[in-house]
Structure 1
Amino acid sequence: MLHTNTFTFHPDTFFLIGIPGLEDAQVWISLPFCSIYLMALLGNATILLIIWSDHTLRNPMFYFLAILSAIDLALSTSSVPWMLGIFWFDAHEIGFSACVAQMFLIHTFTGMESVVLLAMAFGRCVAICAPLHYTTILTPRVLAGIGGGITMSPVLTMLPILYLTHRLPFCGARIIAHSYCEHMGIAKLACASIQINAIYGLFVASFLIFELVLVGISYAYILHEVFHLPHRDACHKALRTCGSHVGVMCVFYTPSLFSFLTHRFGRTIPHYVHILVANLYVVIPPALNPIIYGVRTKQIREHVISAFSSK
């Protein structure tokens, strides 16, 4: 059933397949996804509770960590529950407006996570390379500006995609070979040219690549400074910390860029591989970030140990 507005035809609902080619195994696939999602909820909620309840944790590192945890909760919750509904209850249908809203939220939160990871890399670079100027560089005004950029830049970047998707006409095809709604998965169902959508999607992906380059430059400065530390123990500690952070960033950037670029250039890649990787980037980073950035941070770890010890 189609409904029309002034310019386009939109289906009442879309049909999300889940993981094409692995329909019979989706119940089993759902078990690790559900477990990882619960880990993400518990870990990020714990970090937010600790930072909110302890007024001594009011420096830029914990400010960025709280933002990252909130984004992780939003990113995973905007996609995984619907994914599990498909796997467990065959809840394949989703309304057009709900599908476009889910697309907007997932891509926006992905953009926010990329920006906050860049901000955290910058903050760590300042802390290690210019520790005496840390408070003069990361002033409250600068932090407020960074916070505004984390929130507003992905939203403003995604608004054109919202418009470009809504203007497309759909002439009957409504089956999305995915487990959640995302830009090119919807656009490919349109019965009109989607060249502008594809070009703008690549433009958005280039932002992620640019932010990844900036993260790499930040850690290059950090490593240069670390290798000149006079004490070997301090050097090893800094390397372990940086290595963990770089690992988290690789886990986030690799599948997200893979998902973006496979739509354009990955025609030989099996479709179920593309969808599985796309599912991973909305659930794995939110589950790993509390472990890497939270439990490995001394103040957070002490709060967690204290809570369990008291019980």
Structure 2
Amino acid sequence: MKTTNSTISSPEEFVLSGFPGVQGWVSIPFCTMYVLTLLGNLTILITIKCEESLQEPMYMFMCMLATADIALSSSVLPRMLVMLWFDANTISRDACFLQLFFVHSFTVMASSVLLAMSFDRYLAICYPLQYANVFSKSLIKKIAALCITRGFILIIPEPVFASKVSYCSSNVLPTSYCDFLSLIKIGCSESTLNSVYGLAVAFVVIADAGFIMFSYAKILSTVLKLASGEERQKAINTCGSHLFVLLFTYNTALFSFVTHRFVKGISPPLLVAFSCLYMVLPAMLSPIIYGVRTKEIRKNIFKHFTKK
């Protein structure tokens, strides 16, 4: 269903933006990134599950993040690869709304897990005597359930609101996956409720980033007060991988958002690439960062893969 000049109040399908002329070539890096995402995050999951010494809150949160990353990338990349390989740029209305629900739900879940991880590190370093009593197995399960519930409840209105929008003269999305703001952007019916809701969701994620930055500022302040240089180094090594992951994740999201919404003069294929990389790169690089910077993870990965 292509763009027409007549009003499309309720299109049966939407047209996703791709990479005209180079779709086959572009599929190679995205396919590679998806394979690396699956392999890396599954390696983290299997390593932590199989090693008793890693059954601690910090590693449990890594498992949650790896699961959310696999789910998020799987919500975008398989459909995108089908589009690139078979030039299947159309997506049905219902499939589009379902995709945007899962994409944003898993995004909020990943942000929630990063927030929980920062609180875990804050308590472990700033209040080590209370840490073991607070972070029990039952609390970890409750936090996991809260992250899932928060993601679903916050995003449930998205497909409902998007289905109420009238699409005037275009059903072509400026991205290669269904995104709430992109759907609202091509709609002709202005809605204060949609705008307020979109801003509210963005504020929640920004608030997560703010709380995370506050936690790490407090952690840094505590670490600098430690008398022993060895203790400072140990604390920095413990938090370093988490800090790298969250900075990369939120900075990638911010760069994609600013580029996609405000920067003019960039070619549409480049904008499409930026919007996709925001979904793909953090999920691919998180397990690599953890594997390289977390000594216990690195040691156990080598141990399991060098077993005869």
Query: Do both proteins adopt the same fold according to a TM-score greater than 0.5, normalized to the shorter chain?
Result: yes
* Residue from 103, 118, 121 that aligns with 1:124: 121
Note if contact 2:237-2:294 (Cα within 8 Å) is conserved in structure 1. no
Note if contact 1:251-1:281 (Cα within 8 Å) is conserved in structure 2. no
SS at match of 2:181: helix
Residue in 1 aligned with 2:262?
Answer: 266
Residue in 2 aligned with 1:157?
Answer: 154
Indicate yes or no: 2:290 matched with 1:293: yes
Residue in 2 aligned with 1:54?
Answer: 51
For the aligned residue pairs, the C-alpha RMSD in angstroms reads: 2.3
Following superposition, the deviation at residue 31 of structure 1 comes to 2.2
User: Structure 2: 5+ residue runs without aligned partners?
Assistant: 3-7
Note if contact 2:240-2:293 (Cα within 8 Å) is conserved in structure 1. no
User: Structure 1: 5+ residue runs without aligned partners?
Assistant: 3-7
Following superposition, the deviation at residue 105 of structure 1 comes to 0.6
Residue in 1 aligned with 2:11?
Answer: 11
Aligned counterparts of 1:295 and 1:258: Cα–Cα separation in 2? 25
Alignment: residue pair count:
302
SS at match of 1:115: helix
Indicate yes or no: 2:171 matched with 1:182: no
Note if contact 1:170-1:189 (Cα within 8 Å) is conserved in structure 2. yes
| 1:153-205 per-position Cα deviation (integer Å, ceiling 9, x unaligned) | 12111112221111122355221121111101122232322442222111111
Bigger Cα displacement from structure 2, 33-42 vs 23-32 = 23-32
Aligned counterparts of 1:26 and 1:60: Cα–Cα separation in 2? 42
Following superposition, the deviation at residue 306 of structure 1 comes to 1.5
Note if contact 1:104-1:158 (Cα within 8 Å) is conserved in structure 2. yes
Aligned counterparts of 2:68 and 2:33: Cα–Cα separation in 1? 16
Inter-CA distance 261–104: structure 2 relative to 1 (3 Å threshold): farther
Note if contact 1:205-1:260 (Cα within 8 Å) is conserved in structure 2. no
SS at match of 2:31: helix
Inter-CA distance 251–26: structure 2 relative to 1 (3 Å threshold): farther
Aligned counterparts of 1:63 and 1:244: Cα–Cα separation in 2? 15
